[in-house]
Amino acid sequence: MKLLVTGGAGFIGSNFIRYWLGTHPDDAIVNFDLLTYAGDRQSLADVERSSADRYTFVRGDIGDPNATERLLREHRPETIVNFAAESHNSRAVLDPTAFMRTNALGTQVLLEAARRAGTARFHHISTCEVYGDLPLDSSDSFSETSPYRPRTPYNASKAAADLIVRAYHETFGMAVTISNCANNYGPYQHPEKAIPLFTTSALDGEPLTLYRQSANRREWLHVDDHCRAIDLILAHGRIGETYNVGSGVEKSVEEIADAVLAATGVSVSLKTYVDDRPGHDRRYLLDHGKIERELGWRPQIDFTEGLRQAVRWYADNRSWWLPKKKQHAAALDEAAWSARR
């Protein structure tokens, strides 16, 4: 089988490509990525060396109809897995238009190109954040039937994309599935995100910047467990269905910072607090019972060990993350939300 993976030079996409080529030795992948700041071909340098006969990189934008249709005509993939997205909530506050353009309109352009090309299967990667947030003192979780209540431009753009994917299934009969995942962590994650940001800061003895509402909780899922879930959905998922992919592991931002400091042996005095960004969600938790019951998926990677592995990876791969972190610091000051308001 040949897959088209969009956004495959990003964090989850690159890990998925490496996973898929390693577990499906007869398959080939075309990676279609615009290479924005969050995309890096070096994240797949090992794949380009070891799987050159089964892996192709094409630079391009899913929001460009001509480029997307040309790509599908040339490569004729049987399956599309759409990771391509702008994904950082803080950046979405500063430039919501970019998020709507890529996440919502880009997904529609890709779907239309797939429909015209007769692509057999389309899987869309979404997020738990489309459901909104939960009170910190709640025991509730989000199921696949929970209403969409996005609170930020990023959340709203992903919610819109989900609805567009569903519309193409209902209206045109396209064979689609959607997965809504918890916060991923693991190797090759851009240092704008919490775990790599805290890790790289701790490794350099720099302050770990936390929002004042650092008790806000997230559900944490190792990227390899996510890749296995996508594999099962593609193989056995029911067409037209959505599957939540969570771990059940909830940690506050404060707990994550403390765990990273403990893993790196750095003092907790490095923690510093800044004003929350607008629309800062309190808590996410997914009910992933459906994918367990229907497909037999369960997370396999223990969070404590997974975090240790991630910290070791960043300690060993400074040349990969340092330029990205410098670029992020120049583009986005998380301590300046009060001034922006």
Domain spanning 2-189+221-250+279-302, CATH architecture: 3-Layer(aba) Sandwich (3.40)
Residue 150 per-residue DSSP state: -
pLDDT value at residue 177? 98
* pLDDT at 335 (0 to 100): 57
Average pLDDT of every residue of the chain: 93
Instruction: Give the percent of the chain with pLDDT over 90.
Output: 82
Q: How far is CA 98 from the centre of its chain?
A: 17
> Would you call 245 exposed, middle or buried from its count of C-beta atoms within 10 A (0-12, 13-18, 19+)?
buried
* pLDDT grade for 261, boundaries at 50, 70 and 90: very high
Neighbouring C-beta atoms of residue 216, cutoff 10 Å: 19
- Listed in sequence order, the residues at least 6 apart from 262 whose beta carbon sits closer than 8 Å to its beta carbon are none
What angle is formed at CA 190 by the lines to CA 189 and CA 191, rounded to 5 degrees? 115
The structural domains of the chain, with segments of one domain joined by +, span: 2-189+221-250+279-302
pLDDT digits 0-9 by tens, 73-119: 999 999 999 999 998 878 888 899 999 999 999 999 999 999 999 99
Mean pLDDT across 216-224: 94
pLDDT per residue as tens digits for the range 283-341: 889 999 999 999 999 999 999 999 999 999 999 999 999 999 988 776 666 655 455 54
- Per-residue pLDDT reduced to its tens digit, 11-34: 999 999 999 999 999 999 999 999
CA dihedral 181, 133, 324, 51 (to 10 degrees): 0
- Record the tokens describing residue 58, joined without a space: 């094409």
269 pLDDT exceeds 70?
yes
pLDDT of residue 341: 47
pLDDT at 234 > cutoff 50: yes
Residue 29, classed as helix, strand or coil, is strand
* 126-140 pLDDT, tens digit each: 999 999 988 888 889
